[in-house]
Amino acid sequence: MQETYDVVVAGGGPSGLQFARELTDRTEFSVAVLEAHAELADNDKSTGGTFEQVIQGYDVPDSVVMADSSGVIFEGPSTSERLDIPGYVLDFPAFLEFLGEDIEANGGEVHTGVRVTEPVSERGSIAGVNCLRDGAERTVSADLVVDATGDSAVLTEQLGMFDRDSAQRGIGKEYEAVGEFERDEMLFRFDHFDAPGGYAWTFPAGDGVFKVGLCWIDDFYERHRTDASRQIDDYVERWAEHDDRWTVDSVRETHAGRVYSNNSINTRAIDGLLAVGDAVSSINPLFGEGIRPGMESAEMAADVAIDALRAGDTARSRLAAYERQWNDEKGGAWKLQRAVGELLYDFTATQQDRFVRAAGGMSPTQLDRLQRYELTIPDLLELYPFRLADLWKAPTLARHL
Ligand SMILES: Cc1cc2nc3c(=O)[nH]c(=O)nc-3n(C[C@H](O)[C@H](O)[C@H](O)COP(=O)(O)OP(=O)(O)OC[C@H]3O[C@@H](n4cnc5c(N)ncnc54)[C@H](O)[C@@H]3O)c2cc1C
């Protein structure tokens, strides 16, 4: 590892790796990714459910796709609808390794086992990072630093760019199971019995392999749980074992993590530093999809970074073009989605069923908008199972808009 690079990326998840991939593919700038885990593949957070924008948009090879999914099933407590939204299930660790290999093939460096600890400032601008490798402290200097440390938000939090306290907090856990599984759709079940304040899922993952898990938003879990002694593992176990549509013979991996989602209109650029992915809460607040938005944020950031590096000027005045683009294209939509999420995960059982039925009645154009998170207000009104009793939620929701 050198002492100086043009660009240092902290964190080797999908967002940081895609940022480094864009840079190394399109320029000759020296780029190093610093990843805390011993291997990129040790990031065991994600289920890897994704859509064609990632597979086609970022040239993801078939070799890291475990399964194609022919559609999405939405289920409520007593209803089920199939939505014609095709998707893909990634082998997440293999996907990360593929991105890392691509970076190295283009002359970039990926250093694992390096824990970034703090930003280094010079004359008011970020000029590098301090990190730990094999217990030894190192300083690595760069013209541009990128925080892509996911929900650890190692640099953004210290720099006041990530407000953990105001974020909506969630948790997810899943098993990668071996057993009998006949479905070829991604199933999402909205039912407080299986996943209080969230949803449960099963995804196909190749012959005799599937992913079975659940997530919830902490506030709504508190409101909808019926047994405070049950932990998320108890729920995953019950969901895995007690639904007779599949049989778990063994669990070959577990994946888990926390999710922090704020209104996503964040500061994403300061002098000498950009932030991408979950380090600035790019994750979609409605369904907790983070790979696609994280990679999109990386691509947007890379376009601006390349111009800035070529101009020899990585001041915020230049880098903020990325922040403006994100806020215009996603930030406002994410604010609305957070409000919709707060309704969805607080629905009664009847509302969950009505929501699922309404989703099942959407036209192909509306489904395309749903998949892209571009639902219009009339779409949302059509989906929303209104109850007079929900009026008291209006002031809370207005805070997000
Ligand atoms: C259980 C679960 C299931 C999920 N399923 C899906 C799904 O099916 N589809 C989907 O799109 N999204 C899913 N998500 C969300 C998705 O995984 C994340 O949003 C996505 O991984 C974010 O990418 P990222 O690169 O921003 O951050 P991360 O993937 O979190 O990567 C950050 C990287 O930074 C490293 N790092 C952290 N601290 C340091 C440090 N100090 N120094 C150096 N490196 C550091 C970490 O080790 C990690 O490798 C899921 C999340 C959870 C918790």
pLDDT in tens, 40-67: 999 988 899 999 999 999 999 999 999 9
For residue 278, give the ligand 1 atom closest to its CA. 26
CATH architecture of 4-50+92-166+265-336: 3-Layer(bba) Sandwich (3.50)
What was the pLDDT predicted at 254?
94
The residues, ordered by sequence, that sit 6+ positions from 203 with a Cβ below 8 Å of its Cβ are 47, 48, 49, 67, 69, 89, 186, 187, 210, 211
**pLDDT above 90 (res 398):** no
CATH architecture of 59-90+168-260: 2-Layer Sandwich (3.30)
The SS3 of residue 58 is coil
Q: What is the pLDDT of residues 350-376, one digit of tens each?
A: 999 999 999 999 999 999 999 999 999
Please tell me the distance between residue 108's alpha carbon and the centre of ligand 1 in angstroms: 21
What was the pLDDT predicted at 135?
92
Please tell me the distance between residue 45's alpha carbon and the centre of ligand 1 in angstroms: 6
Any ligand 1 atom below 6 A from CB of 111? no
Atom 48 of ligand 1, nearest CA residue: 13
Please tell me the distance between residue 13's alpha carbon and the centre of ligand 1 in angstroms: 6
What was the pLDDT predicted at 337?
87
Any ligand 1 atom below 6 A from CB of 36? yes
Q: Report pTM.
A: 0.96
Of 154, 163, 168, 150, residue with least CA distance to 278:
150
Any ligand 1 atom below 6 A from CB of 119? no
What was the pLDDT predicted at 265?
83
What was the pLDDT predicted at 401?
67
Per CATH, 4-50+92-166+265-336 and 59-90+168-260 having the same topology is answered: no
Per-domain residue ranges of the chain: 4-50+92-166+265-336, 59-90+168-260, 337-398
Any ligand 1 atom below 6 A from CB of 294? yes
What was the pLDDT predicted at 389?
78
Atom 10 of ligand 1, nearest CA residue: 289
Any ligand 1 atom below 6 A from CB of 142? no
**pLDDT above 80 (res 399):** no
Window from 24-33, 75-84, 384-393 with minimum mean pLDDT: 384-393
Strands 31-35 and 4-10: parallel
Any ligand 1 atom below 6 A from CB of 335? no
Classify the C-alpha dihedral 264-267-269-272 as positive or negative.
negative
What was the pLDDT predicted at 266?
87
What was the pLDDT predicted at 12?
98
Instruction: Indicate the Cα dihedral angle 64, 98, 275, 272, nearest 10°.
Output: -170
Give the mean model confidence (pLDDT) for residues 294-304.
98
Instruction: Give 342's pLDDT tier (boundaries 50, 70, 90).
Output: confident
Instruction: Give 339's pLDDT tier (boundaries 50, 70, 90).
Output: confident
For residue 284, give the ligand 1 atom closest to its CA. 19
Any ligand 1 atom below 6 A from CB of 97? no
Any ligand 1 atom below 6 A from CB of 18? no
**pLDDT above 80 (res 186):** yes
b/e map 273-289, b = 16+ CB within 10 Å: bbbbbbbbbbbbbbbbb
Please state, in angstroms and rounded to a whole number, the distance separating the CA atoms of residues 2 and 66: 36
What was the pLDDT predicted at 316?
98
Please tell me the distance between residue 14's alpha carbon and the centre of ligand 1 in angstroms: 7
The SS3 of residue 13 is coil
Please state, in angstroms and rounded to a whole number, the distance separating the CA atoms of residues 216 and 199: 6
Give the mean model confidence (pLDDT) for residues 369-389.
89
Chain centroid offset of residue 61 CA = 20
Within 10 angstroms of residue 78's Cβ, the number of other Cβ atoms is 11
Atom 17 of ligand 1, nearest CA residue: 46
Q: What is the pLDDT of residues 228-267, one digit of tens each?
A: 889 999 999 999 998 999 999 999 999 999 999 887 788 9
Of 11, 201, 203, residue with least CA distance to 96:
11
Q: What is the pLDDT of residues 134-146, one digit of tens each?
A: 999 999 999 999 9
Strands 198-204 and 186-189: antiparallel
Please tell me the distance between residue 255's alpha carbon and the centre of ligand 1 in angstroms: 11
**pLDDT above 70 (res 297):** yes
What was the pLDDT predicted at 400?
67
Instruction: Give 391's pLDDT tier (boundaries 50, 70, 90).
Output: confident
**pLDDT above 70 (res 309):** yes
Any ligand 1 atom below 6 A from CB of 358? no
Mean pLDDT, the chain, integer? 94
For residue 40, give the ligand 1 atom closest to its CA. 49
What was the pLDDT predicted at 132?
97
What was the pLDDT predicted at 201?
97
